[in-house]
Amino acid sequence: MDEVIKKYLEAISMGELQVYKNIGILPLILEMEAPFEYYTLDEALNEDVMTITEVTERGNIPNLRLVNRGPKMILILEGEELVGSKQNRIVNVTMLIGGHNEVIIPVSCVERRRWSYKSETFCSESRMFSAFMRKNAQEDIIDSVARDRGFYPDQSRVWDGLSEKADKLGIFSSTDAMRDIYIQKEVSINEYLENFQVIPNQVGMIVLIDNRAVGLDSFGRADTLEKVFKKLVSSYALEALNVRESEGYSSRMKDLACEFMDKVKSGKVEWRPSVDLGMDGRVESDQVIGSSLVFENQLLHLAFFLKGGPGNRKPRIHRPFQR
Give residue 301's pLDDT band: very low, low, confident or very high (50, 70, 90).
very high
Q: Of all residues in the chain, what percent carry a pLDDT higher than 90?
A: 84
Q: Residue 183 is part of which domain span? A: 3-306
Report which DSSP code applies to 121.
B
Residue 8 CA: distances (Å) to CA of 38, 54, 191, 277, 316: 20, 37, 32, 20, 35
The per-residue pLDDT for 252 is 82
Range with lowest mean pLDDT among 23-32, 77-86, 253-262, 293-302 = 253-262
Give residue 267's pLDDT band: very low, low, confident or very high (50, 70, 90).
confident
Q: Does residue 56 belong to any structural domain of this protein?
A: yes
Q: Does residue 233 belong to any structural domain of this protein?
A: yes
Q: Does residue 123 belong to any structural domain of this protein?
A: yes
Give residue 266's pLDDT band: very low, low, confident or very high (50, 70, 90).
confident
Rounded Cα–Cα distance for residues 315 and 1 (Å): 27
Residue 249 has pLDDT above 90, yes or no: no
Q: Does residue 231 belong to any structural domain of this protein?
A: yes
Rounded Cα–Cα distance for residues 78 and 89 (Å): 11
- Mean per-residue pLDDT for 264-269? 86
Q: Does residue 215 belong to any structural domain of this protein?
A: yes
Q: Of all residues in the chain, what percent carry a pLDDT higher than 70?
A: 93
| φ and ψ at residue 86, rounded to 5 degrees | -85, -25
Model confidence pLDDT, tens digit, residues 174-228: 999 999 999 999 999 999 999 999 999 999 999 999 889 999 999 999 999 999 9
Number of domains the chain contains: 1
The per-residue pLDDT for 309 is 60
Residue 247 has pLDDT above 70, yes or no: no
Model confidence pLDDT, tens digit, residues 70-98: 999 999 999 999 999 999 999 999 999 99
Residues in Cβ contact with 84 at an 8 Å cutoff, skipping those fewer than 6 apart: 118, 119, 121, 122, 123
The per-residue pLDDT for 321 is 44
Residue 149 has pLDDT above 60, yes or no: yes
- Mean per-residue pLDDT for 298-311? 85
Give residue 242's pLDDT band: very low, low, confident or very high (50, 70, 90).
confident
Q: Does residue 313 belong to any structural domain of this protein?
A: no
Give residue 1's pLDDT band: very low, low, confident or very high (50, 70, 90).
low
Give residue 311's pLDDT band: very low, low, confident or very high (50, 70, 90).
very low
Q: How many helices (H) and strands (E) does the chain have?
A: 8, 18
The per-residue pLDDT for 317 is 40
Rounded Cα–Cα distance for residues 77 and 293 (Å): 10
Q: Does residue 311 belong to any structural domain of this protein?
A: no
Q: Does residue 321 belong to any structural domain of this protein?
A: no
Model confidence pLDDT, tens digit, residues 180-190: 999 999 999 99
Question: If phi over 0 gives left and psi between -120 and 50 gives alpha, with beta otherwise, what is residue 148?
Answer: left
Average of per-residue pLDDT values in the chain: 92
Model confidence pLDDT, tens digit, residues 13-65: 999 999 999 999 999 999 989 999 999 999 999 999 999 999 999 999 999 99
